């Protein structure tokens, strides 16, 4: 089967959450010993998790953050505060367990899977998932970042990693990435698909100065006018101005949705992948849990555009999946509320009905 058909099949498998199970969970939340709605967003979260998983009492013990790593030709334009060599160096750091995402994943009981989907170096490590589609993208300021088929291949890599994790029993996924230059590609994807201006979409990424920020906006404008991606064709946008890790994460999100698993969306780059996933499969948004608002300017606007409501705002701007794995603690808390709280009836607490009686 051609890759494009495999992708179409994956998209067709995303049918939407179990509304009946969500309704049952919502009814149970309302008989727990608290005023209705008093646990706010935790209530909404667990009702959504029930609908996504089809379990009236979700318990998401096996979790994995998938860190997609790839390089970007556009780094040659001076759009990052760090050199491209940092991408492979950080991959080795993930594999050694020393990056921020490793620490936060250990704290949240999540596995870290690192996928070389397009790093511009030869990497070997027993724990590395080596699925290189090509050695980095081409410089989008000079031409398309990759071909349409490469973008589809990278989406399918993400989907395959999720499928094998689902087979191992993983129940919830977190998106993570590493790729020097990827805030530029993400900003370009955002501009192409939403019409937002490059000046509003670009941010400081790893910490570029004011001159660098101006240059970044100019590079994004140049890439958009040169490649002229079609806004109604997400694969065209992804291949012309996106990145291999962004494509891989699009696949992670689509496959999580196809397998009835929640997918926690991390920061700016991950949300750009979510934007592509939404365009390819609008119903996939029902499976996305937004974790945090990144300090990368542009992320808040992107989340608004996606109608995603993140749980946290900790002024983080790292990526890797760090905000995503932190959110697992709140997801656990929400699930425990549903699983462990007493009901008005079981605890003998008056439920506030007009008679003031203990409900049966
Ligand atoms: C040491 C280091 C660790 C990182 N971990 C994630 N990123 C983050 O920064 C990069 C994006 O920023 P820009 O577009 O400005 O290059 C991505 O690799 C992202 O994951 C890192 C960046 C650095 C330098
Ligand atoms: O929000 C993110 O994902 C992010 C922001 C800056 C740099 N790297 C990642």
Q: What is the pLDDT of residues 86-102, one digit of tens each?
A: 999 999 999 999 999 99
Q: Which residues contact 14 (CB under 8 A, 6 or more apart)?
A: 254, 257, 258, 281, 283, 284, 287
pLDDT in tens, 158-195: 999 999 999 999 999 999 999 999 999 999 999 999 99
Confidence band, pLDDT 50/70/90 cuts, at residue 354? confident
Q: What angle do CA 22, 167, 338 make, to 5 degrees?
A: 25
Distance 179 CA to ligand 1 centre (A): 6
DSSP for 208-246? Answer: --HHHHHHHHHHHHHHHHHH---TT-HHHHHHHH--HHH
Distance 10 CA to ligand 1 centre (A): 30
Distance 317 CA to ligand 1 centre (A): 9
Q: Which residue among 296, 297, 315 has the greatest number of ligand 2 atoms within 8 angstroms of its CB, and so is best to mutate?
A: 296
- What is the C-alpha to C-alpha distance for residues 68 and 132, in angstroms, rounded to an integer? 10
Distance 59 CA to ligand 2 centre (A): 29
294 CB near ligand 1 (under 6 Å): no
Mean pLDDT computed over 263-292: 99
177 CB near ligand 1 (under 6 Å): yes
Residue nearest to ligand 2 atom 5, measured at CA: 317
Token pair for residue 168? 């191992």
Distance 207 CA to ligand 2 centre (A): 10
pLDDT above 90 covers what percent of the chain?
97
In the prediction, which pLDDT does 23 show? 98
Where does ligand 2 bind, in terms of residues with CB under 6 Å?
A: 183, 205-206, 266-269, 294, 296, 299, 317-319
Q: Which atom of ligand 1 is nearest to the CA of 82?
A: 24
Q: Which residue among 68, 87, 99, 267 has the greatest number of ligand 2 atoms within 8 angstroms of its CB, and so is best to mutate?
A: 267
- What is the C-alpha to C-alpha distance for residues 320 and 322, in angstroms, rounded to an integer? 6
Mean pLDDT computed over 17-46: 98
In the prediction, which pLDDT does 180 show? 99
Query: Would you say 188 and 272 are in contact if contact means Cβ atoms under 8 Å apart?
Result: no
- What is the C-alpha to C-alpha distance for residues 224 and 188, in angstroms, rounded to an integer? 7
320 is catalytic: yes
351 CB near ligand 1 (under 6 Å): no
What residues does 118 pair with on adjacent strands?
A: 70
């Amino acid at each position: 089967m051609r890759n494009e058909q495999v992708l179409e099949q994956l998209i067709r498998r995303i049918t939407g959450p179990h509304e009946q199970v969500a309704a049952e969970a919502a009814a149970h939340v309302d008989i727990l010993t608290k005023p209705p709605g008093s646990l706010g967003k935790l209530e909404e979260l667990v009702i959504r998790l029930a609908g996504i998983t089809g379990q009236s009492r979700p318990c998401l013990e096996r979790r994995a953050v998938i860190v997609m790593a790839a390089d970007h030709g556009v780094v040659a334009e001076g759009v990052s505060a760090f050199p491209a060599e940092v991408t492979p160096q950080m991959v080795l750091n993930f594999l050694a367990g020393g990056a921020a995402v490793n620490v936060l994943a250990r704290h949240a009981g999540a596995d870290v899977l690192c996928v070389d989907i397009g790093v511009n170096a030869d990497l070997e490590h027993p724990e590395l998932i080596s699925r290189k589609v090509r050695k980095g993208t081409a410089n989008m300021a000079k031409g398309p970042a990759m071909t349409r088929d490469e973008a589809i291949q990278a989406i399918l890599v993400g989907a395959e990693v999720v499928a094998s994790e689902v087979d191992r029993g993983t129940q919830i996924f977190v998106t993570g990435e590493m790729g020097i230059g990827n805030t530029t590609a993400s900003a370009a994807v955002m501009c192409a698909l939403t019409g937002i201006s490059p000046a509003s979409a670009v941010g400081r990424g790893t910490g570029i100065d004011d001159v660098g920020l101006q240059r970044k906006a100019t590079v994004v404008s140049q890439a958009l006018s040169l490649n002229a991606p079609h806004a109604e064709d997400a694969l065209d946008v992804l291949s012309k101005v996106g990145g291999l890790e962004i494509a891989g994460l699009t696949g992670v999100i689509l496959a999580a949705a196809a397998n009835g698993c929640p997918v926690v969306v991390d920061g700016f780059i991950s949300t750009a992948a979510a934007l592509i996933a939404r365009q390819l499969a609008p119903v996939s948004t029902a499976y996305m849990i937004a974790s945090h608002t990144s300090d990368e300017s542009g992320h808040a606007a992107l989340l608004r555009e996606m109608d995603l409501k993140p749980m946290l705002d900790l002024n983080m701007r790292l990526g890797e999946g760090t905000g995503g794995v932190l959110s697992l603690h709140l997801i656990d808390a929400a699930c425990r509320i549903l699983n462990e709280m007493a009901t008005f009836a079981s605890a003998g607490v008056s439920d506030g009905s007009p008679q003031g009686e203990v409900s049966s």
